[in-house]
Amino acid sequence: MKKILALLIALAMVMCVFAACSNNANTPDASSDGTDSASEDGSTAEVQGVASGVEDGVLTVAMECAYAPYNWTQTDDSNDAVPIKGTNEFANGYDVMMAKKICEANGWELEVVRLDWDSLIPAVQTGQVDAVIAGQSMTADRMEQVDFAGPYLYASIVCLTKAGSDIAGAKGKSELAGHSCTSQASTIWYDTCLPQIEGADIKTAKDGAPLMLMALETGEVDFVCCDMPTAQGALVAYDDLVILDFSGSDDDFVVDEGDINIGISMQKGNTVLKDAVNSALSGMTADDFNEIMAKATAIQPLSED
């Protein structure tokens, strides 16, 4: 009986050793190169690689390439523009300049993908791109869908109108009542700010900043709402416009901090990439951001017309 009991104990010990070896064989070795470890929320991040999603050394960034001075399309590589993937065209602007700085700080190459505004967040969520750098406000709604690094710019809300209009001297948003207006679709300018103007005649939103500005130029609307960088870029392109800036008054737009903080979006849970981007931005100040934006505004294509 004792021999049988001893045999059973020995067999059990062999099975335990086998099970332990099997588990170790299927568990990623955190000390090896190129392996991933799963986080508690089920997401994965490279332990020793460059960053999650950038293991190949290429940061793939999406933007509209049609939103000067943040980003635009041009036909050559002048002013250090970068190629747009899958095209013979090039991208430039503030977003490209900032993306290049982030890549330089982390030793990455930059790849730009051109997408329309409504496709940007889905592209990040599905992993089509690593990040979006496209003048996105860090709103609470967006932060439920993606994670944000930054801010990489602080942009106050303003309006634009024709220099000769009867609201060109407006000192507050209440003075815009009764006038027609629009802005870019799926932005806080259209969804949050314009509804704060009591009695405003809000027209259909436009698919992109250029169409928004064209609506103002052609007289379709009396004014548009946007952020300060977009407005400053518009003045370079259209010399008959004026900026209505109500900041500092009691009759300004009411927005959250996230509405004027412009960030870089990426997949939920991608903390490795978020930390790498934030590290690159950590040494920059608001003055640095504004200086780069001024450069982008000065070289945007329409400024040469």
Residue 126 CA to residue 81 CA, distance in Å, equals 27
CATH code, domain carrying 213: 3.40.190.10
**Which among 203, 207, 183 has a CA at the least distance from the CA of 193?**
183
Q: What is the dihedral of CA 268, 271, 272, 275, to 10 degrees?
A: 120
163 in the same domain as 134: no
- Which range marks the domain in which residue 265 is found? 55-154+259-304
**pLDDT, tens digit, 9 for 90 and up, residues 277-302:** 999 999 999 999 999 999 999 999 86
143 in the same domain as 175: no
Q: How many domains does the chain have?
A: 2
Residue 40 CA to residue 38 CA, distance in Å, equals 7
Domain final residue, candidates 246, 267, 283:
246
The answer to whether 148 and 279 are in contact (CB under 8 A) is: no
Q: Which residue blocks in 50-139 are alpha helix, DSSP H?
A: 94-106, 120-125
Give yes or no for a cis peptide into 69 (omega within 30° of 0). Answer: yes
**Residuewise pLDDT in 10s, the chain (305 residues):** 433 444 444 444 434 433 333 333 333 333 333 334 333 333 333 433 344 789 999 999 999 999 999 999 999 999 999 999 999 999 999 999 999 999 999 999 999 999 999 999 999 999 999 999 999 999 999 999 999 999 999 999 999 999 999 999 999 999 999 999 999 999 999 999 999 999 999 999 999 999 999 999 999 999 999 999 999 999 998 999 999 999 999 999 999 988 899 999 999 999 999 999 999 999 999 999 999 999 999 999 865 44
Six-digit token pair at 214?
A: 């064209």
**pTM score:** 0.77
76 in the same domain as 116: yes
